Structure formats: C-alpha cells, structure tokens
Structure 1
Amino acid sequence: MKKTFLKTVACLALCASAFAHAENYPSKTITMIVPFSAGGPTDTVARLVAQSMSTSLKQTVIVENVGGAGGTIGAARVAKAAPDGYTIFLHHIGMSTAPTLYRKLSYNAITDFEPIGLVTDVPMTFIARSNFPAKDFKELLAYVKANKDKVTYANAGVGSASHLCGMLFMTAIDTELTTVPYKGTGPAMNDLLGGQVDFMCDQTTNTTSQIKSGKVKAYAVTTKKRVPSLPELPTMSEAGLPGFEIAVWHGLYAPKGTPKQAIDSLATALQTALKDATVKQRFADLGTEPVAQDQATPEALRAHLKSEIAKWAPIIKKAGVYAD
C-alpha cells in the first residue's frame, strides 16, 4: 500500500511539473532546423519567419542549418529530437517527395512529426546563363530539343526543388537532358552565372535578384498567374507549355508528441509572423507571399502534406528517379 501511495504521489508530482512546464512555454531559446545550407531559398524563408516569431513568443528562435541528402538528414534529426517544443523544423515540398524518392528513410513524414502550419508557396522561374542563345521560352524549348545531348540542366541535388522542376520539365517535353546535380542552390547558381551550365529552374527567393540585375536570362514563371515582382515574365502556359505548374510550398513542423499547448503557441506565432508587414514586404520582394491565415494551421498542413505525397508518388515512380 505504501509503495502504491508513493508511486501515486510521484506521478502527480511529475504531471504537475509537466503541466507547469507547458504553461510556461516557451521558457528558453527555440531552434528552427532548416535541412539545407545557409543562404538558400528555404533558409531565407526560415530566417524571416524565425525573426518575427521570436518577437511574438518573447524567446529567441535561432535557425540551424542541417543540410544533406535532399533535406532528409535534417528531417531525421528533428524526428528524433525531444518533443518539448524547443526544436522545430521548416521544410519545403521535399517533405512530400522524399517518401517516394528515397528507398530508405529513417523517419515517416506523416507519423513522426506534428504539423504547425503552412508558410508560403514560392513560384519558380526558368533561367539560363546570360549568353544562352534562346531569346524567349519558345526558342528555349526548340533549342533544348535540338541540342538535348549538349544542353546541361543544373539542380541543387536529388530531392531539391530545382531537381523536381527539372524532372517535371523533361517529362512534359518528353526529352531527357544532361543534368548536373550540385550540393545546394548556391553552387548551382554560381556555375550558371559563370556559364559552366546552361539553365535551371529555381525558386524566386533565389533568382529574383539575379534576374533583376540582368546576370541571368529569365524565360517564365511556373505559376498560374504572373508574379507581381517579375511582371514581364510569362507563365509557362503563356510561354508555350500549357498546364505546367509547380510552386514550392513550405511547412513548419515539430517532433511527434510535442505538447498541444506548444503547437498552439507556435501556430499562433507563425500566423502573427505571416501578418507582419516586414515579412510580407520581404516575401513580396522575393516573388512570393504568405499563405492565407487558415492555411497556417496544423490541420491545413497535415491535409496538404498527405495530398502532396499522393500527388508526387506516381510522378516520381514514372520517372524512375530514386536515391539511396
């Protein structure tokens, strides 16, 4: 009887401590893991959101870059992190493609994370080295098909947004091209600027400044509507490839089992960040915008992730592209 009583007291004390801890959340620095290198498009989105969330949470939100293997190394780390609300994770569309692209994953994209909310949909742009001969997208298509053995397409590695866009492009035009994978967007862009590769498709958060400065040739955007920050660029449908659409959505997650109170606080802070005038302006400068408030919720992200996994699985399987 005495042992049972002591166990009950200990349990009540532990529960009270956990409740008090939850009530005081957050009480220390929060780490936001980004599964790509610093300076890339996802890192840019993360740092803008983290800075604003720090203000509303009244605790510092630091960004830590854990790159490699198309974002799966960072994702695996978060899946194994303590579910206490002090490790969160910002990832892009790759969260939905990794389950099909990678033969072996040490985590489950659906069951090992707690969704917090969608963040933004980033358009992509088709760009080429500044001296590429095609003057518009129609000529680009003709040139690529006529020179498929010579043209080089750069991407930021398997599972990256630029890899996915290129895969869709080659499927859409029924033409296999020589792809040159890099370890990140930065190196790929550097070689494009230097003329070592011919063209690529990448997020506006990474290409807008290069387009506006005239350092690259821009041909089209991959969204249904033109992008306000790049109004001169036609959509892919306008340019001659009807139905080609891809936007790089970003979502915020926590490890499975993170207390609901922490998830709710983080979701509220995210929603506040996406209403922040500075964040909205910086997003606009980069050719994107925050999602609607009703999308910056755990429920919306959970549903979106499931639908995107279902959408990409057959496309990837048909292309026959896999990573170990």
Structure 2
Amino acid sequence: MWIKQAASRAATLCIVGGIFGASGYAYAEYPEKPVTLVVPFVAGGPSDKIARDVAESLRKSLGTTVVVENTAGAGGTIGTARVARANPDGYTLLIHHIGLATAPALYKKLGYKTSDLEFLGLINEAPSTLIGKPDLPPNGLPELRKFITENGGKLNLANAGVGSASHLCGLLLQGALKSNMTFVPYKGTAPAMSDIMGGQVDLMCEQATNSTPQIEARKVKAYGVTGAQRSMVPALASIPTLSEGGLSGFNFTVWHGLYAPHATPVAVLEKINKALRVALKDTALVKREEALGITVVADDRLSPAGHKKFFNDEVTRWSKVIKDAGIQPE
C-alpha cells in the first residue's frame, strides 16, 4: 500500500513540477532558437523595410536571430492567419500595419479572429504623402482641390490594393474633398508608384517611407503630408500638411504593431515586450526611422494594454469610414 501511495505522490509532484517547471523554463530559457517575424506583404515594400529594421534591433535585445519571412496575399490576411495558427511558443511573431484594424470591415472571411492574436506593443507611426504624376497641372494643394472639383470623376487615384494604406488614405481624402475619383488598385506599392512616375495615373496617397526618394528626385509632384504636423525629413519639411492646405483636421498615419499567437505563455510575452522596448531605444533604429519620417512609439501604446486599446479604437474609426464609403466586404 505504501508503495502505491508513494508512487502516486511522486507522479503528482512530477505533474506539478512539470507545469511550473515548464513555465519557469520558458521564462528563463526563451529564446533558444531563431524567431520568425512574419510580414504579411511582399518584400521591398514599406512594411518589409520596417520589419527588417526592427528585426535587427530585436536580434540584439532578444539575443537570437530574428528571421523575416514574407507571406503576402489578400491584403495581409494570409500572413496574419498563418501566425494566428502558429504554435504559441513565441517563435512565430507578426508585424502588421493599420490594415489589421480595417480587415474586419473589408473581408467577410478572414481565416482568423482578432482574439487569435496577443498584442505586444505598437512600434511606430508615419504620415503618408499626397503625390501626383510629374505633369499634373496643379502646383499646390489649393490648385489641386480646384482642379479636382472642376474635373470631378475624371481623375484617378492609385492604390496598392484594397485595404492597403494608400487605399485607406484615398478613402479619407475623397471624403474630405467631397469629390469622387476613380480608384485604381494595383498588386502592391511598386507597380502603382511606377505608373504614377510614368504618368499612367494621376494621384496617389503613399507612405512617406516609400515616396520620399521620388519626391526628392522630382519624379512625382508632392501636394501635402497627411499627418497632423509637417515632416522632419529634410526632403519633406517644406511640404504643408493637408490640414494646412485647407482640409481641416485631416490626419492619417500608418502604424505598425507586433503580435504573437493567442495563448503564448505570459512569461514569454513579457520577455518579448521587454525586448521590444529595448529595441525601440536602439539609436541606430531611431535614426533610420526618423530619416524616413517615421516616429518610434514611446508612449503607453508600447504596452500590450495600450496597444490593444489603440487598436480597438482604430477598428471603430475605420469601420465607419469604410461603411460610409459604401464598400461592401469581400
């Protein structure tokens, strides 16, 4: 009898020790292998560039290799679903932009729910720029507004696809101008930018990270910056905000956040958030971001709770914008 009781007690201790030991082990030893950072967009785009910068800083703060993998398609939903279904061990993370907050209003079937993800902290935010083809007649935002009014419906507005940052900015712009333009969706930022530089499309509302080189090289015309304040980037410093140009209160920024699969151990989430905070203080990273007109987040949105609250507010905001624009979920 005493042998059976001893065996039972030993088994119980093993189970309890296994539970607490595993948690402690995860906290103490994570990460033991490379971490994969999934970007749900094509390589070479703004989000990919930001992800690679963040990955390098996370590599130093986590003490392990951070591999960036591009899983593009369906407005970022394919890559997001991949992370949502991944093993919740902290080795597969997601970096996503504003599109994560608009997806519920744009797609009937996402392949994931927001609750399938853990919020790890907001990373950055950056304005976009309203740019035009090189030979577009207007030379400033007031002239452009008049030109759009006089040619209502005839001008076209390029974007990188439904749900992209350029598409969302275009929706806000059309509402602010109270004038319809023809939306021209592309399969990514690169072909859209190529066509606006070549004069095949009239306008585009593109992230400053991607448009600044073309503005500086005078390959496109710049009509305004979409943020609440002018950009600190030398090439954009003289360009007024759209609000200054007459679109009072216009404010659009593209933000990126970091996510993990739901049910990732709390200890691991805490370790990743701590590493993210350290990474975003990396002087080299901050300088690279600022050179592109990007502001690194340093407020409460860097905390998981602050990030989640901000995200939910964005979902509410964009659901209304998309509904008011008459866009039906696909």
**TM-score between both structures, scaled by the size of structure 1:** 0.95
Q: 2:50 aligns with which of 21, 45, 51?
A: 45
Distance in 2 of aligned mates of 1:274 and 1:21: 24
What is the deviation of 1:137?
0.8
CA deviation map 1:256-309 (0-9, x unaligned): 011112111111121112111111111111111201153321111111111111
C-alpha distance in structure 2 between counterparts of 1:292 and 1:20, whole Å: 30
Partners of 1:188 and 1:253 in 2: how far apart?
29
Query: What residue number does 2:198 align with?
Result: 194
Question: Residue 94 of structure 2 aligns with which residue?
Answer: 89
Aligned pair 1:289/2:295, yes or no? yes
The amino acid that maps onto 1:93 is I
Does 2:254 correspond to 1:248?
A: yes
Matches within 5 A, 1:141-180: 141-180=145-184
Q: Percent identity?
A: 47
Matching residue of 2:26: 21
Output the CA distance in 1 between the equivalents of 2:88 and 2:94: 12
Q: 2:277 aligns with which of 262, 271, 277?
A: 271
Q: Determine the C-alpha separation between the residues in 2 that align with 1:105 and 1:286.
A: 32
Is structure 2 residue 313 aligned with structure 1 residue 307? yes
Give the aligned partner of residue 225 of structure 1.
229
Residue 103 of structure 1: aligned partner: 108
Q: Distance in 1 between matches of 2:11 and 2:181?
A: 66
- Superimposed CA distance per residue, residues 102-136 of structure 1 (whole angstroms, 9 cap, x where no aligned partner): 12222112x11111100111111100111111100
Shift of 1:13: 5.7
Measured after TM superposition, the shift of residue 61 of structure 1 is 0.7
Unaligned runs of 5+ in 2: none
Instruction: Answer yes or no: is the 8 Å Cα contact 1:148–1:178 preserved in 2.
Output: no
* In the alignment, structure 1 residue 298 sits paired with structure 2 residue 304: yes
Q: For 2:154 and 2:204, how far apart are their aligned partners in 1?
A: 14
For the 8 Å contact 1:121–1:250, the answer to whether it is kept is: yes
Large movers: runs of 4+ above 3 Å? 1-10
CA distance in 2, matches of 1:250, 1:196: 30
* Structure 1: runs of 5+ lacking an equivalent: none
Quote how far apart the aligned CAs of 1:322 are. 3.0
1:317 pairs, out of 312, 323, 330, with 323
- Name the aligned partner's letter for residue 148 of structure 2: V
- Number of equivalent positions: 323
CA contact (8 A) 1:158 1:323 kept: no
Q: Are positions 1:185 and 2:178 aligned together? A: no
Q: What is the alpha-carbon root mean square deviation over aligned residues?
A: 1.7
The one-letter code of the counterpart of 1:283 is E
Contact 1:33 1:65 in 2 (8 A): yes
What is the rounded CA distance, in whole Å, between the counterparts of 1:7 and 1:92 in structure 2? 47
- Report the secondary structure of 2:244's partner residue: helix
Change in CA separation of 1:173 and 1:9 when aligned onto 2, cut-off 3 Å:
same
Structure 1 distance, partners of 2:11, 2:206, is 58
SS at match of 1:239: coil
| Alignment match, 1:216 | 220
Q: Is the 8 A contact 2:30 2:268 kept in 1?
A: yes
How far, CA to CA, are the matches of 2:208 and 2:147 in structure 1?
24
Paired amino acid for 1:20: Y
Residue 175 to residue 4, structure 1, CA distance change in 2 (3 Å): farther
2:26, 2:267 within 8 Å by CA — same for their partners in 1? no
| Structure possessing the higher radius of gyration over alpha carbons | 2
From 59, 75, 85, the counterpart of 1:54: 59
Residue pair 2:83, 2:93 contacting (<8 A) in 1 also: yes
